[in-house]
Amino acid sequence: MSLFYQHAATILDKLNRRQGTIKGLVIGDPKVKDKKKMYALICETLKYKSVLNELIDATNICTIEKKMLSSRSLAQVLIHDMLFTRRGIPLPADKPIKKCVHQHQARLKAELAKIKIKRGVQKNEDLVSQKAKDAVLIPRYVRVNTHKSTVDKIIKSFKKEGYNFIEDTPEDLKELSKKTFCQDPHLSDLLVFAPKTDLHNHPLYVSGDIILQDKASCFPAHVCYPPKDAHAIDACAAPGNKTSHLSALMQNTGKIWAFDLDSRRLDLLKRMTGKAGCKNISPVHGSFLEVDPNDPQYAKVEYFLLDPSCSGSGIVSRLDHLVDNDDEENESTTDNTKDERLKNLSDFQISIIQHAFKFPNAKRVVYSTCSIHPQENEQVVKAVLKDNSDFTLAPRSSVLPTWKRRGLPSEFNGNNQGNTFFFQ
């Protein structure tokens, strides 16, 4: 069990270094045996992260116990279980890692009481920020993997288990109650379940018939929508959900080249797309920017899905954003530093799109981010179109016409040009 805590600490460290997401580092890691338990510990620790850091700093526990507590993340998960769960730390009392934390229990509880008084709360759960609470209330989205099943079959399967299927999708999806679900009004292969619905151990997820994928992550493949037998490139593909979605929409025909520089993440893509039953994907370990557009093997490539690195500022549907928020609260990041980072990101994003434009038969290029900053969205699109007269914006009618949001009017001098952009 002590190895479980050490593994949890490693995952938190990787999240802090932005080397993955909770889902990728927990669900996608075959070394994590009890995925449900690990996922819960990581999420709950992140929810209380600011409080845990206050406790660690006030007690100086990491310095005092530096031989046993090899990282702040290890202290966070252990203190979380000791103070914020009924079971405490489920390790034998004589385990050194438990003993070193428990001998500070009285001081930690005293400091926790001070924090509650300072914030004017009585319950531990009241210490969680509103943003974290809102993240937990985001509906659970489930993409039907059409390689293995159909929407109708999956709906019938859940109904047999006692789930209530709502024919008319409610306007406020947060109103979905326990064991109720509906079909997404914009994406035909997406089902929506009540917040906190846990399907990580569900047989349909284990078998690959359904894929747990946020709605925003499902938009790019639908916007790209290559036809059967097409050739496509996913330029920044790992961990692979968007790639497997492309494959499903193409009905396992044609060919998709999936590029990623990170070999570990590419291995994850191979596992996830293999589980999904994809047979038309060629994973490539390398940079898309180093690919020769005139290479004969890419002569028929017409469709490009570009989801490059971004600030992640628009992530609201999972708890990964709490890592960034805590950093922002504790670091004196200047406006100049933020602007410089956004400039570096947008330069990279522009280079990815411009490289896709160089492929001789490029027909449809889909660019997506999880950012709220115009510097990474509207301004990137305007910049590449200004320098490439051969490409134009796709008409609204071909880009999910039922989705109302079309970008920031302020970025287009208040006119309706933004109507041709697609932004979530």
Active centre residues (catalytic) = 370
Asked whether the beta carbons of 31 and 6 are under 8 A apart, the reply is: no
Helix and strand numbers (H, E) in the chain are 17, 10
* CA diameter of the chain: 71
The values of phi and psi at residue 260, to 5°, are -160, 140
The H or E element spanning position 141 is strand 140-144
Distance between CA atoms of residues 85 and 69, nearest Å: 20
Rounded to the nearest 10 degrees, how much is the dihedral formed by the CA atoms of 209, 211, 212, 216? Answer: -140
For 364, the 3-state DSSP assignment is strand
Q: How far apart are CA 36 and CA 39, in angstroms?
A: 5
- Where would I find the beta strands (DSSP E) of 235-344? 255-260, 281-285, 301-306
Coil, strand, or helix at residue 176?
coil
Spatial separation of the C-alpha atoms in residues 45 and 81, rounded to whole Å: 9
Give the integer Cα–Cα distance in Å for 254 and 252: 7
Closest Cα partner for 138 from 204, 205, 217?
Answer: 217
Closest to 81 in 3D by CA, of 100, 53, 61, 101: 101
Q: Per-residue b/e over 178-196, b at no fewer than 16 CB within 10 Å?
A: eebbbbbeebebbbbbbbe
The enclosing H or E element of 142 equals strand 140-144
- Would you tell me how many other CB atoms lie within 10 Å of the CB of residue 171? 7
How do strand 140-144 and strand 190-193 relate by DSSP bridges?
antiparallel
